[in-house]
Amino acid sequence: MKITAFTLGFLAAAASAAPAANAASGNSACTKTLALKITNIYENGDTNFHYDYCENIKDGRGFTSGISGFCTGTADAWEVVQQYHKLTGGKDSFSKYDGVLKKYAQSGSDSTSGLDGYCSVWSKLGKSDAKFRKAQDSIRDSMYYNPSQKLADQLGLKLSISRAQLYDCGIQHGTGSDADGLAGLIKTTNASFKADAKGSSGSTLKINGHNVDEVAWLTKFLQVRTNDLLHPKEKENASGAWKETLYRVKSYQYALSKKQYNWTKSVQVLDNDGKPVTVSC
């Protein structure tokens, strides 16, 4: 998915700070699993973890693969491969692609030249290699889940639905402070609150010195994200593909309308066709 300089710089710190961040937020293992599975619906059409997925979806990011849509043109696929090298000792089926992957990660190129057989290798290892799956889990958490939850902690978000939405946004938009990134969208959302915003969620945030109900904040954030999906600010995201993914926001708006604020064992959201589906941990 999308990666920024902010994300790269934050990777190591996020990985080491993850346990403290998760403990502070009170997130349960089940709540995290639900968040991951919901995003899987948007990414792959079901709640399964598709470690073996790999294809060029022609979105300007090269090959898209794995549980988080790691892309050869946005550096996160290269991060997965490097993590896998650490687990295998440095010599494995991906080693022959190192030079090309590093070059495309640095340049942001969507080219797949020099990557013949890449998807075959990814798919085979994704189906059978526990170390490769572990590498994907590790990079998903360090680049997307943990940074999104750190931002949630900074905001003071307490509701499962809010924290999970930040993760899903981070997966698609990247977690950075650019105009289309998660941190950038949070900034835009916060700037819209110029007075107290009351509500009955039981959670109150301090935004620009104002008391803002967490559901009121999340409702505005979803509006801001919708506008960004329709009108991306960064040229690299303006292909039109994002306009086709409004179901990601509508799904959370549905859960919000049902007052499914805190999740324990399950939550009902919308699938990519707009049909209600129950996700369980």
Residues serving a catalytic function are 43, 59
Give the integer Cα–Cα distance in Å for 143 and 88.
Answer: 21
For 216, phi then psi, to 5°, come to -65, -40
| Pair of tokens at residue 201 | 């969620």
Q: Give the residue among 71, 78, 73, 257 at the shortest CA–CA distance from 161.
A: 257
Tell me if 54 sits within 8 A of 81, measured CB to CB. no
CA distances to 139, 196, 266, 271 from 90, rounded to whole Å, are 17, 55, 40, 40
Letter string b/e over residues 36-52, b meaning 16 or more CB atoms within 10 A of that residue's CB: bbbbbbbbeeebebbbb
> How long, in residues, is the chain?
281
Is residue 186 exposed (0-12), middle (13-18) or buried (19+ Cβ within 10 Å)? buried
278 beta partners:
268
| Amino acid residing at 141 | D
Tell me if 246 sits within 8 A of 168, measured CB to CB. no
197 beta partners:
212
Cα dihedral sign, 192-198-199-200: positive
Q: Give the residue among 201, 71, 95, 204 at the shortest CA–CA distance from 143.
A: 71
